[in-house]
Structure 1
Amino acid sequence: MAHTLAHGFADPVHEGQAVFRAAMDALSRPGQIRPLATTLAPPAPLIPELAALALALTDADTPVWLDAPLRAEPAVAAFLRFHTGAPLVDAPDRAAFALIADPARCPAFAAFSQGTPAYPDTSATLILAVETLSNSAGPAFAGPGIRGTAHLDAGPLPADWASRWAANHAAFPLGLDLLFVASARLAGLPRSARPVALEAMPCT
């Protein structure tokens, strides 16, 4: 475990800034897939891309919630505490960020902090590790940062994902922002992204 804990970003400042910028770009250009390269080797089931976003986006002031597969592996919590200092919380509604290794069993959006009318930015950001991530198919979205429409195929996701996202967008400016990661890829879906067609996102 000691070797694993010692392996964070080789260049924490520059690598962390690059991943942070990639995440912000992904949220400002909803649905557009961009590269996310990392040499991290975190303990499974924390994939490198999920770990990279955690290291770049969280710190001692950002509570983090882990889904069941990540909580089941003590080395994951040790890795995140060592490299980020982020407090790991038991309740989803206390988290600023949620790391989700099993997106098909993602908890209901209502379980997470939605923000408040005075402070909508206190809502949670969900970071989901998916197997499928492409722009070749999937539901269409429109809104700020999208020229025309953008298609995003991500999965596996819960069967009610389309209705979840429609309700999430309808609550704007409250609601959740999402980041999807897969092998060397990243895409964002902020709450401002409006579903053009309420078709279910494919599950793989």
Structure 2
Amino acid sequence: MSTSHDAALLKPGFTDAVFEAQAGFRALLDALAYAGRITTLEVSLDPPAPLDPATAAIALTLFDFDTKVWLDAPAAAGPVPAWIRFHCGSPIVSETHDAQFALVADARHLPGLGDFDIGEDRHPDRSSTLVIQVPALTGGSATRWTGPGINGSIEVAIAALPEGFWAQWDDNHALYPQGVDVLFVCGRQVIGLPRGVKVEV
């Protein structure tokens, strides 16, 4: 538990929690409804390192006392766990398959997608959502996305994903309606990749 001294050292959260959370929620819905499009979260957060502003906004918008969160090594090693506990009340879990959300500050530390909770036949919505920070949402290897919310197809070129990521995504997509969802983040921008979207490389 954070002491009052620890709390005083924590970075602040939203200035207007209700308004900013509502705006963030609408933006995240758009990002997932229109997969592949870059959505900007209009936030002025100064989050704890190594979180990007959009990653911190996602946490403040979607996490609460019942949200189990897994952190990769770079995020877990610094002030992020205390910041999440203080502002969101969320428990930090050590096992990937227990997580409802995973915050990956460095994609090189991303575990296999199959290590996370894919949901159940009767409750596919209980799967994990991965928030993956990348150095850029453009300029990487080109991929072609098709599926719900996409008019025909869209080309996406997310940078610096680990080798074999898209092969893992093929396996994840094949599990639909089960499977994990992904939010790619860079700075204040996000691209949603729901499990129902097919990706060709």
Q: TM-score, normalised by structure 1?
A: 0.91
Q: Percent identity?
A: 43
Determine whether 1:48 maps to 2:73.
no
Give the total of aligned pairs: 196
- Answer whether contact 2:47 2:56 (CA < 8 A) is retained: yes
Structure 2: 5+ residue runs without aligned partners?
A: 1-5
Determine whether 1:168 maps to 2:172.
yes
Q: Displacement, 1:109?
A: 0.8
Q: 2:76 maps to which residue? A: 71
Once residues 41 and 98 of structure 2 are traced to their aligned partners in structure 1, the CA distance between those partners, rounded to angstroms, is 28
Determine whether 1:159 maps to 2:163.
yes
Q: CA RMSD in A?
A: 1.6
- Answer whether contact 2:114 2:172 (CA < 8 A) is retained: no
Map 1:1-204; keep pairs closer than 5 Å: 2-5=7-10, 7-73=12-78, 75-134=79-138, 138-195=142-199, 197=200, 199=201
Once residues 147 and 117 of structure 1 are traced to their aligned partners in structure 2, the CA distance between those partners, rounded to angstroms, is 28
Once residues 84 and 167 of structure 1 are traced to their aligned partners in structure 2, the CA distance between those partners, rounded to angstroms, is 32
Q: Matched residue of 1:132: which SS?
A: coil
Report the residue type matching 1:121 in the other structure: D
- Answer whether contact 2:52 2:188 (CA < 8 A) is retained: no
Q: Displacement, 1:21?
A: 1.2
Structure 1: 5+ residue runs without aligned partners?
A: 200-204
- Answer whether contact 1:4 1:41 (CA < 8 A) is retained: no
Q: TM-score, normalised by structure 2?
A: 0.92
Once residues 149 and 139 of structure 2 are traced to their aligned partners in structure 1, the CA distance between those partners, rounded to angstroms, is 16
